[in-house]
Chains A and B, each alone.
Chain A
Amino acid sequence: MADAKGMDGRSMIRRRAGPRLWLSAGWLSILCLAALFAPWVAPHDPLAQDLFLGRMPPFWMAGAEPGYWLGTDSLGRDVLSRLIHGARVALAVALIAGTITCLVGATLGLLAGFLRGWVDIVISRLIDIWMAFPPVLFSILLIAVLGPGLVSIIIAIVVIDWTRFARVVRAEAMAQGAMDYVSSAQVAGRPRIGIMLREILPNLLPTIGVLLTLEMGIAVIVEAILSFVNLSISTDDPTWGSMIAEGRTAIHQAWWVLVFPLITLFLTVLSFSQLGEGLKDRFDPVLR
């Protein structure tokens, strides 16, 4: 048995977690902690107005007010505290909307890609028709009907974005379905539903995981866009989108009101996408 000794190093290969995994996971953990403990972490009440403290610059600039690290907006509200409280909405939307979108889209995609036939025809046509609606208009219309609020935003994101999962998962399920391990399971006597869940699904999980983290990033953006056009939750609650919208009006007098939420939004969305790719690289046992 010469080949049983195994001189090659296939099983020796271990991949390390790269900096992108650490950085993205680090940023998202900080954000999660900040959101969870917002009332204790935030230095001020995010809603407290003080017109005497309006448009104070961040701490390193002349005229900064001690204790207001990232400055204040035109109504004198603390930007840092509003960012921290805004993270609650952003992360809630990311996690809940992302997960539900993933479940709906991946399930439909898997059914279409594996079962083929009329199931595929129905789901594929639905996807085609769905994608013909302009997404932003569609969501604005939806919220107009449902009324603003966190639940409406989540519903809007799920309704618009499930097609993204469905398309990719369907294509991948078809590719996996053509592999011989599917025939092999059939020869072994596994029923179709078992083949779908036990054989095909595990091979789709890395792809679904990457899509899920991407979708979480997208959900954060969609929430921000909807806040920006004033269609998100009630205007009282701080959200990154509403902060950006307000900051826009005073860009020349107080740039920090616009720039800090933008940077936070950017880092968060980037971290979500990098987290997905990084996790796949690190933990996928199959070298591709």
Chain B
Amino acid sequence: MSYLSIRNLSVRLKGGPPLLRRVSLDVGPGEVRGLVGESGAGKSMIGKAVLGILPPSVEVTGGEILLGGTDLLGLPPKDRRRRIGATCALIPQDPLTALNPSHRIEPQITDRLVNILGWTRAAARARARDLLEEVHLPDPERVLRAYPHELSGGMRQRILIASAFAAEPKLIVADEPTTALDVTVQKQILKLIREMQARHGTALVFVTHDLGVVSKVCQHLSVLYAGMVVEDARVADFFAAPRHAYSAALLAATPKYTDPDAGLNPVPDAVIDAVRAEVAAFDAAKARRGAA
């Protein structure tokens, strides 16, 4: 039974073109689903729609986002926010801007626990210290008292991970959490996210442009092009034999240092034309349905 289930989600720019075209996907408890695609494919948009943080210029035009069986889009805004706040969390892309530079670390982890979930300050503080230990930060007491600029990018990303897990969410959306980091730090952070996710049994939506990363942290993946899911597969099956020509081309474009002749092949024009034709056919079918 999946915890997050998105059914036919359509999103568009207000008065403009569609950004998501009937996207469907499922994520079960303890499962990791990767969302991959090129920039502008709509992969981040899905995470934002789930968390209810779509930009004001964008609107949902159809579909359902079922969270533990309840359709979020059917709830009144206030209930929806409360429900998301209590069960979901985000690991953001840029650790440098995600923490407020003028506050110490402690309130940035504990405020949510105290204000939204009604914990006592002391309990929230103890929880924060335990979490910092869990994400392997040395000397948690000192880190809690520190300001963000006193910590490295990798340390800040660890804090954001700790903070995401603080309220024991059922679902976490990680939006390109390692793009801003060095490869060596990326490896440690991915390892940490995987370890925390498995221990807490959290459902994880992992947005990334890197198929290498997907092959390491995800069990399932959805490949997106122009807001359309072109392939939904188990990771092992996908890397053995991708079914869609576009996702196969994307895999062939991903660099592979072990073999200097493999990888780094641009997606062929014919493949782009074919997948664009698919998108156009989808839009035409939708227009026909709308007219009928």
User: Chain A interface (Cβ within 8 Å of chain B)?
Assistant: 1-2, 7-9
Contacts and interface: CB of A to CB of B under 8 A. Distances in A.
A1 B267 CA distance: 9
Interface string B40-51: 100000000000
B17 interface: yes
Given A7-B276, A8-B40, A2 B266 contact: yes
Interface string B259-292: 0000000111100100010000000000000000
Chain A interface mostly helix, strand, loop or mixed?
loop
A9 B226 CA distance: 13
Contacts of B269: 1-2
Interface residues of B, number: 9
Nearest to B276: A7
Given A2-B272, A7-B276, A9-B17, 4 more contacts: A2-B266, A2-B267, A2-B269, A7-B226
A173 to B, nearest CB: 24
A9 B269 CA distance: 20
Identify the interface centre among A2, A8, A9: most chain B CB within 10 Å of its CB. A2
Nearest to A7: B276
Nearest to B271: A2
A7 B279 CA distance: 12
Contacts of A9: 17
Nearest to A8: B40
Contacts of B272: 2
A266 B276 CA distance: 55
B182 to A, nearest CB: 21
Interface in B149-201: none
Contacts of A2: 266-269, 272
Contacts of B276: 7
A8 B17 CA distance: 10
B288 to A, nearest CB: 22
A9 to B, nearest CB: 7
A64 B276 CA distance: 73
Contacts of B40: 8
B116 to A, nearest CB: 34
A1 B266 CA distance: 9
6 contacts: A1-B269, A2-B267, A2-B269, A2-B272, A8-B40, A9-B17
Nearest to A1: B269
Nearest to A9: B17
B115 to A, nearest CB: 34
Closest 3 CB pairs of A and B: A2-B272, A2-B269, A2-B267
Contacts of A7: 226, 276
A7 B272 CA distance: 11
A159 to B, nearest CB: 37
A7 B40 CA distance: 11
A145 B40 CA distance: 64
Interface string B59-100: 000000000000000000000000000000000000000000
Nearest to B267: A2
A7 B280 CA distance: 12
Interface string B9-25: 00000000100000000
B16 to A, nearest CB: 8
Nearest to A2: B272
Contacts of B268: 2
A287 B267 CA distance: 29
Nearest to A4: B269
Contacts of A8: 40
B267 to A, nearest CB: 6
Nearest to B249: A2
Interface in B197-236: 226
Contacts of B266: 2
A113 B40 CA distance: 36
B44 to A, nearest CB: 16
Contacts of B267: 2
A2 B40 CA distance: 15
A9 B272 CA distance: 17
A1 B269 CA distance: 7
Interface string B235-260: 00000000000000000000000000
A1 B270 CA distance: 11
A7 B276 CA distance: 9
A35 B276 CA distance: 60
A1 B268 CA distance: 8
B262 to A, nearest CB: 20
Nearest to B269: A2
A112 to B, nearest CB: 26
Nearest to B273: A2
A1 B272 CA distance: 10
A63 B208 CA distance: 78
A9 B40 CA distance: 12
Nearest to B13: A9
B187 to A, nearest CB: 29
